[in-house]
Structure 1
Amino acid sequence: MILVTGSAGRVGRAVVAALRAEGRAVRGLDLRPSGTGGEEIVGSFEDAQAVANALEGVRAVLHLGAFMSWAALDRDRMFEVNVAGTRRLLNAASETGVRRFVFASSGEVYPENRPEFLPITEDHPLRPNSLYGLTKLLGEELVRFHQRTGSMETVILRFSHTQDAEELLDEESFFSGPRFFLRPRIRQQLSFGNLAIADLLRSRDIGEPSHILARNENSRPFRMHITDTRDMVAGVLLALDHPKAAGGTFNLGADEPVDFAALLPKLCALTGLPTVTVDFPGDGVYYHTSNERIRNTLGFEAQWTMDRMLDDAVAARRQRIAKERRL
């Protein structure tokens, strides 16, 4: 039996589906039902009994669940779930004889948005500047402790930013909406309380829906990794099964970053919307994270380039528009 935490999340749902497609016994653990059928436990890492029930008969754990928030009111909860919850799960897994424990960390442990050198390898200094990144680094330390002191094999995967392809052209999607569309970006910044940035964005509103090309204060376009969920699933399954994964730490993500200056004209051509350019204060987002270690050690091969993702995104957008017109 394989336990997948965060089984109702983007990557967790896809991992569970992939494992079941292979005929493997899998159990989900999440705060909310996944709606996908199959065996799952609705509960929290904070609940020792839910953790014990979830681990019954389990030989491998894919710990993909976490709590992410930028709100000050959520800080205590984030530490309780991501740090204390991970510790509780690790301890229980070790005590019940779990063979392998795979931990989903994040590029925020470096952090990717403040790199000291490029490309970012697994040897980059670990100096997170967000509370989420700090909780992930503390989770990694707990995992490494168990690797040093116990018999359970552990694997750390530092996740790239992950998207389902269909989200890329969806104004309502949580990440891609504000990243690539102006008005969703305005709403996001208002929700964060970033009034000065919201005013800057409003000043660029041309009176109709539009894309946004984000640049830094020196007019350098943003650049970051965006990895298709399907490639992330492939990497997680390698971490679960590959003999050489045990004890390892791996960046998991696309081969190349996405240059927003190259991407936005493609989005424009696909949606028919204009693009406005906004220069944000500060250094902006600009990084390239290397996946060389996981490629060379485990044979990982990213399959879903941005162009392939956009093909799927276009089909999904057409379906949404057709549905809206029928309604």
Structure 2
Amino acid sequence: MSADTILVTGSAGRVGSKTARRLLESGRKVTGFDLRASGIEHPAYREVLGGFDDRAAAAEAVRDAGAVLHLGAFMSWLPADGDKLFRANVEGTRVLLEEAARVKPRRFVFASSGEVYPENVPDYLPLDEDHPLKPRSTYGVTKLLGEELVRFFERSAGMPATILRFSHTQDAAELLDPASFFSGPRFFLRPKIRQQEGFGNAAAVEVLRQADDGGEALVLSRNEAGRPFRMHITDTRDMVEGILLALDHEGAAGRSYNLGATEPVDFAAALPRMAELTKLPLKTIDLPGGGVFYETSNAKIRRELGYEPRWTFDRMIDEAVQARAKRAS
């Protein structure tokens, strides 16, 4: 195992902070780079605060970096956030790559996204790494442009790179927290109403409000034809394992992988179980549009790097129930 310093961007985030801690626990030296402080205190850890497009901060962050894990990004699906998305995810990635090329790290790992695929209107399922890249969100476009930048610098600067197309990622404890940025609007009625209001989806808001009787409730989301939502949700701990494999596995250089859970989450099975365990009412709601329905294959990273996710969604739900009970006590 290399003794070099590992730069982790997004070190204050869900995935980045846990990756940094795992590296430190294994005896590695880590530099964190984010807009916010991570709260990590360790003698082998230093931190640089700033935006990825801040050249001075990026230059300081890559100093002495033997490898770079570019895990940080700005995530939003609001139309008003387009400028922020391109500044952080495209311009920020370009600046970081330029500065990294000066120190020539042995590996540059880039956290892309499954949104580089047309997830809900695929050419075929499951989505694998050979599927055409046709993003349908601004966030997905910025991650695809980031991938192109990474491959350009790999060719032009001789910087071996691995691209990881992230599944949707959650801490298990968040799943049953209505205040969670992701799980709140995905599984709970009132946060979902607020989310759809922010998106300007008036038709969806109207349908959701009709189901609101004033109490907390879970939502089984289906599309307008009654098909339950289906998507991948991966535990953060499994994502960290895949990132560490991409960092150190010799065969990962020059490769792109889907990183995530092996099986997608079927909302028709998961939501009744969540309702049973929490004793919350469950509202089944048919939302306008085609809805969320896709499956992504992780066969390539399992075959080539030996990746094996351990946290099934049922295990995540069990942990989420314990976390919810603890918050209520």
TM-score tier by shorter-chain length is over 0.9
Query: Which position in structure 1 is the counterpart of 2:25?
Result: 21
Give 1:1-327 correspondences, 5 Å limit.
1-37=5-41, 38-322=45-329
Give the conservation status (yes or no) of the 8 Å contact 2:78–2:198: no
Which blocks of at least 5 consecutive residues in structure 2 are unaligned? none
After superposition, give the CA deviation of every residue in 1:139-180 in whole Å (9 maximum; x if it has no partner).
Answer: 101111122233211000000000000011111111111111
Inter-partner Cα distance in structure 2 for 1:311 and 1:276: 21
Aligned residues: 322
Give the conservation status (yes or no) of the 8 Å contact 2:53–2:93: no
Q: Which residue identity does 1:280 align to in structure 2?
A: L
Inter-partner Cα distance in structure 1 for 2:172 and 2:116: 25
Give the conservation status (yes or no) of the 8 Å contact 1:13–1:34: yes
Output the TM-score relative to the length of structure 2: 0.96
Query: Which position in structure 2 is the counterpart of 1:325?
Result: none
Inter-partner Cα distance in structure 1 for 2:319 and 2:6: 30
- RMSD value, Cα: 1.0
Measured after TM superposition, the shift of residue 92 of structure 1 is 1.2
Q: Which residue identity does 1:27 align to in structure 2?
A: T
Give the conservation status (yes or no) of the 8 Å contact 2:53–2:96: no
Measured after TM superposition, the shift of residue 265 of structure 1 is 1.0
Inter-partner Cα distance in structure 1 for 2:278 and 2:121: 32
Give the conservation status (yes or no) of the 8 Å contact 1:109–1:137: yes
Measured after TM superposition, the shift of residue 75 of structure 1 is 1.1
The DSSP-based 3-state class of the residue aligned with 1:240 is helix
Inter-partner Cα distance in structure 1 for 2:286 and 2:129: 31
Give the conservation status (yes or no) of the 8 Å contact 1:111–1:133: no
Inter-partner Cα distance in structure 1 for 2:257 and 2:241: 13
